[in-house]
């Protein structure tokens, strides 16, 4: 029996957060309708989304709040660690009128979100395979106020394959990080980091140095652990 009432689903999500592991899985799969692989693991986190799928070996740690999304997809071996706030404003709230948006977090194969990040999913946020949101306190902001039109706007953010976003970065709406890139600590990314294989740094972030593709993280052989 899948519960459809928004209020009851939120209450069940809160109950699942404090319930024992076997009961938590029952609530998530049987009552909330989430598709969770038998080898996937969910800690004591609040997860209140419309649709959720976890692949083999995927994991969510403790004390995360994930709410308001239409879709949460976690591919094989993807991970969300602890104390992250992943949020969206639902369509029925009356914001973002006439804005085409997908309220989603899409995590590709072997991607990782570490600890204490804020991820705004008012538009889609996608981590392509083996990319990492590393360190602490990065803000991923998909929505903004457009002063020219006096309206809220939302645009998707993509972090390219094998790219690393380090500590205390800010990613602004519409950002696309090229594959095999590193964004240095404290950087503010506005627009698109188009050149793959570069270190981006500064406010706003600019390519400052080409990376050595022989470094372990940038090679095709590495699996993130």
**Ramachandran area for residue 11 (φ above 0: left; ψ -120 to 50: alpha; else beta):** alpha
Residue 103, both tokens: 């309220």
Band of pLDDT at residue 159, cut at 50, 70 and 90: very high
Please provide the DSSP assignment of 5-18 as one string.
Answer: -HHHHHHHHHHHHH
Q: CB 28: neighbour CB atoms within 10 A?
A: 22
**Cβ(220)–Cβ(167) below 8 Å:** no
Percentage, residues of the chain above pLDDT 90? 80
pLDDT digits (tens, 9 = 90+) for 96-148: 778 889 999 999 999 999 999 999 999 999 999 999 999 999 999 999 877 77
Mean pLDDT of the chain: 92
**Cβ(198)–Cβ(215) below 8 Å:** no
Residues 6+ positions from 138 with CB-CB distance below 8 Å:
117, 118, 165, 166, 167, 168, 169, 170, 171
Please provide the DSSP assignment of 99-159 as one string.
Answer: -----EEEE-TT-EEEES-EEE-SS-EEE-TT-EEEEE--EE--EEEETTTTEEEE--EEE
Domains contained in the chain, number: 1
User: Does 33 reside within a domain?
Assistant: no
**Cβ(137)–Cβ(167) below 8 Å:** yes
Domain that residue 119 falls in: 70-218
pTM higher than 0.85: yes
Beta strand 51-54 with 35-36: parallel, antiparallel or unpaired? parallel
Measured between alpha carbons, how far is residue 183 from residues 31, 171, 210, 220 in Å? 40, 10, 12, 20
Three-state SS for 56? coil
User: Does 47 reside within a domain?
Assistant: no
**pLDDT number for residue 176:** 97
**pLDDT number for residue 213:** 73
pLDDT digits (tens, 9 = 90+) for 26-59: 999 999 999 999 999 999 999 999 999 999 999 9
User: Does 119 reside within a domain?
Assistant: yes
Residue with tokens 């803000």, as numbered in its chain: 139
User: Does 190 reside within a domain?
Assistant: yes
Band of pLDDT at residue 93, cut at 50, 70 and 90: confident
**Cβ(189)–Cβ(175) below 8 Å:** yes
Q: State the CATH number of the domain containing residue 89.
A: 2.160.10.10
Percentage, residues of the chain above pLDDT 70? 95
Alpha-carbon dihedral 97, 53, 111, 184, rounded to 10 degrees: 20
């Amino acid at each position: 029996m899948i519960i459809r009432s928004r209020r009851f689903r939120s209450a069940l999500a809160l109950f699942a957060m404090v319930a024992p592991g076997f009961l938590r899985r029952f609530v998530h799969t049987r009552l909330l309708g989430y598709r969770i692989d038998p080898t996937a693991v969910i800690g004591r986190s609040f997860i209140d989304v419309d649709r959720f799928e976890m692949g083999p070996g995927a994991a969510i740690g403790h004390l995360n709040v994930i709410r308001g999304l239409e879709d949460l997809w976690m591919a094989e071996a993807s991970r969300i660690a602890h104390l992250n706030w992943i949020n969206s404003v639902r369509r029925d709230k009356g914001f973002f009128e006439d804005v085409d948006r997908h309220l989603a977090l899409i995590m590709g194969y072997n991607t990782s979100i570490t600890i204490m990040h804020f991820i705004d999913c008012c538009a889609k946020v996608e981590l392509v395979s083996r990319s990492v949101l590393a360190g602490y306190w990065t803000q991923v902001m998909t929505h903004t106020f457009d002063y020219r039109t006096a309206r809220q706007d939302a645009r998707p953010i993509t972090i390219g394959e094998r790219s690393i976003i380090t500590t205390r970065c800010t990613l602004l709406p519409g950002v696309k990080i090229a594959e095999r890139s590193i964004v240095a600590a404290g950087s503010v990314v506005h627009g698109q980091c188009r050149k793959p294989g570069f270190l981006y740094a500064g406010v706003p972030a600019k390519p400052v140095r080409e990376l050595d593709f022989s470094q372990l993280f940038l090679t095709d052989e590495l699996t993130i652990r």
